[in-house]
Amino acid sequence: MDVVNRTGPIVVLGSANMDLVTRQPRLPEPGETMTGSDFSTGAGGKGLNQAVAARRAGAEVAFAGAVGDDGFGRELRAFLEGERIATDALRTSAAPTGIAQVSVLDGGENSIVIVAGANGEEELTDGDRALIASAAALVVQLERPLALVERALAAGRQAEALTVLTPAPVDAEAARLLPLVDILVPNESEALALSGASDVETAARRLSAEAGTVIVTRGSKGALIARGGDIVAAVAAREVEAVDTTGAGDTFVGVLVAWLTRGEPLEAAVEAATAAAAIAVTRPGAAPAMPTREEIDAALE
């Protein structure tokens, strides 16, 4: 199901992290101490990032997640509310707020280590279920427990919402989720790991035989769209000079779903998502770098 026939918010059930970001020339060798050039903190987590991307693209968005009763948690809640994202389903946990340690290399690439903290809560509450039942689309990732994501997708399928999964961090056991997924959005490495294929096109075909539609994001090589075991389209990337690729994939997913819930066809939604991701990588940070609907529209023109 790529056509959204329901009204309601985009519900993002996912992670909220405080990003701790260092900029450095390269990754250090084991035992090496390296001098970095910059440090910053900011709102992050794949779930939060996707919620922000969808909201800035003009969609109504509600976020379901958990943060700690600490300074990071209060800061993340305030950030979401400042973005006008509904936080009624954002719980305060006894566990600390999740964090992501992000190393941004001088060429713009990044590596990330996450500590789940409150994101490790496994319960799908009655409030979560009620929110999902009202959704036009449900967006999930794998920075929350797999069992929780599975229950959420089953609830989304029962509600006839569009279900969207980013399989990151990739987990081989996530293959059992595919029958519950309308749109699967892996990057190249995730597609290969999840499918067991040795090349991306085979991976896309294989995964699309189990999930509804598969969109493999390929960075500067654009995106492949597969459905029913066949490659049905390829969308070219936009040429930009990358400053920071953190959050580019999340920008893609949030804008993709925002466009689909506006009633736009799939290829137009992928074009918009590609344009938005290209804007985001020219700016530092994850959520702070995400473009507005007006910026995306201008890029598409």
Q: How far apart are CA 33 and CA 95, in angstroms?
A: 30
Q: Annotated binding residue at 47?
A: yes
Q: Binding residue per annotation — 171?
A: no
Q: In this structure, which amino acid lies at residue 203?
A: A
Distance CA 260, CA 145 (A): 27
Helix, strand, coil percentages, rounded to 5, for the chain: 40, 25, 35
48 has binding-site annotation: yes
Asked if residue 19 belongs to a known ligand binding site, the reply is yes
DSSP 54: H
Q: What's the chain's length in residues?
A: 301
For 282, the token pair is 């020219």
Is 283 known as a binding-site position?
A: yes
CB under 8 A, 24+ apart: contacts of 127-131: 127/64, 127/88, 127/89, 128/13, 128/64, 128/89, 128/152, 128/155, 129/155, 131/11, 131/62, 131/64, 131/88, 131/89
Copy the structure tokens of residue 157. 């399928």
Of these residues, 69, 88, 171, 250, which one is catalytic? 250
Tell me if residue 128 is catalytic. no
> Is 230 assigned a ligand-binding role in the annotation?
no
Is 142 part of any known ligand binding site?
Answer: no
156 is in an annotated binding site: no
Judge whether 220 is annotated as a binding position.
yes
CB 147 within 8 A of CB 179: no
Q: Which two tokens stand for residue 190?
A: 């995730």
Asked if residue 249 belongs to a known ligand binding site, the reply is yes
**Coil/strand/helix, residue 234:** strand
Of 195, 219, 190, give the one whose Cα is nearest residue 205. Answer: 195
Is 217 marked within a binding site?
yes
- DSSP designation for 92: E
Which residues contribute to the annotated binding site? Answer: 17-19, 45-49, 143, 187, 217-222, 244, 246, 249-250, 280, 283, 285
Which residues contribute to the annotated binding site for ATP? Answer: 187, 217-222, 249-250
Write out the catalytic residue numbers.
250
Which residues contribute to the annotated binding site for K(+)? Answer: 244, 246, 280, 283, 285
Which residues contribute to the annotated binding site for substrate? Answer: 17-19, 45-49, 143, 250
